[in-house]
Amino acid sequence: MQNITLKVEGMSCQGCVKSVTNVLQPIPGVSKVVVTLKPGQANVEFDPAKTNVDTLRKAIEDAGYDVVG
């Protein structure tokens, strides 16, 4: 298992937190998702054999938020 914290910009309320959580959770290989508003970030635990950071990043961006760093 690999654990990464992505900096997410554009979240303004708990609804956004839920949206980001909801797009990450169903990705195959993702086992744990903790999204926080302040600071705006997503901590994700995933199986690197099944998914990767680019996939996680793209899912967040497709939901309308920016991943920085």
Nearer to Cu ion, 15 or 69 (CB): 15
Q: How far is the CB of 50 from Cu ion (least distance, A)?
A: 29
Applying CB under 5 A, which residues contact Cu ion? 12-13, 15-16
In the bound state with Cu ion, the residue whose beta carbon lies nearer, of 6 and 40, is 40
* Nearer CB in complex with Cu ion: 16/59: 16
> Is the distance from CB of 60 to CB of 19 less than 8 angstroms?
no
Q: Residue 69 Cβ, how far from Cu ion at the closest point, in Å?
A: 21
Q: How far apart, in whole angstroms, are the C-alpha atoms of residue 56 and residue 42?
A: 10
Alpha-carbon separation of residue 40 from 13, 24, 47, 65 (angstroms): 10, 15, 23, 10
Q: How far is the CB of 40 from Cu ion (least distance, A)?
A: 11
